Structure 1
Amino acid sequence: MWIGTCELDVLLGDVHSLKQKRSVVRPLVAEIRRKFDISVAEVDHRDLHRRTVIGVSVVSGDREHVVEVLDAVERLVASHPEVQLLSVRSRYLSSEDL
């Protein structure tokens, strides 16, 4: 079994309030969840209106599949014009590592 996690540090564009932030982040999180059927959530900077960290996790029997899914999530987030992807931190663990 392989487990992959990814933290995407995101700067939001023309956002001036937490309400506007939610109107950008929630649809993005929902799109990732719907498109890839993986666990995803806003995990940090919830009190800042222009920054967020989106965390995702994937479990699979195949390491290559985990890498492909996390790479596709990164490309999806980077393709959204209303956000700027500042950094990505990915980790891959096998069940033997636990």
Structure 2
Amino acid sequence: MKVLVLVIKLRASWVHSLKEKRMILLSITKRLKNKYNVSVGEVGEQDTHKIIQIGISQVATSKDVLYASKEDIITFIEENCEAEIIDIEEEIIDF
């Protein structure tokens, strides 16, 4: 069993409140869960309204599947979210 762990940090410079940030976060997490069957949640920067930090995890039997999924997820976020990706941390864990 292999586990993909991604931490993606986004900058939304036009956001002026935590409420606006939550709306963006809710939208992107719902779409990622529905499209890629991943677990998604806010994992940091919870008190900063211009920075969104999300954690994404997925389980598969092959690293190749996880690498392909990782690229698809990053592309999806770039194309469907107005916020700019400023940092990506990734790890694939073997069990």
Same fold (TM over 0.5): yes
Superimposed CA distance per residue, residues 61-96 of structure 1 (whole angstroms, 9 cap, x where no aligned partner): 11111111111111111123520000111101111x
CA RMSD of aligned residues (A): 1.1
After alignment, is 22-31 or 75-84 more displaced? 75-84
The alignment covers a number of residue pairs equal to 95
Mapped pair 1:63 → 2:63: yes
Q: Which runs of 5+ in 2 are unaligned?
A: none
Aligned to 2:92: 92
Q: Could you list the runs of 4 or more consecutive aligned residues of structure 1 that deviate by over 6 angstroms after TM superposition?
A: none
The 5-angstrom pairing of residues 1-98 of structure 1 reads 1-95=1-95
Q: How many Å separate the matches in 2 of 1:88 and 1:81?
A: 15
Q: Any conservation in 1 of the 2:28–2:81 contact (CA below 8 Å)?
A: no
TM-score, length-scaled by structure 1: 0.91
Preserved CA contact (<8 Å) 2:6 2:90 = yes
- In structure 1, stretches of 5+ residues that fail to align are none
SS in 2 for 1:69: helix
Deviation for aligned residue 1:12 = 1.0
Aligned-pair identity in percent equals: 21
SS of alignment partner, residue 68 of structure 1:
helix
In 2, the alpha carbon distance for the partners of 1:53 and 1:81 equals 13
Q: Distance in 1 between matches of 2:3 and 2:37?
A: 15
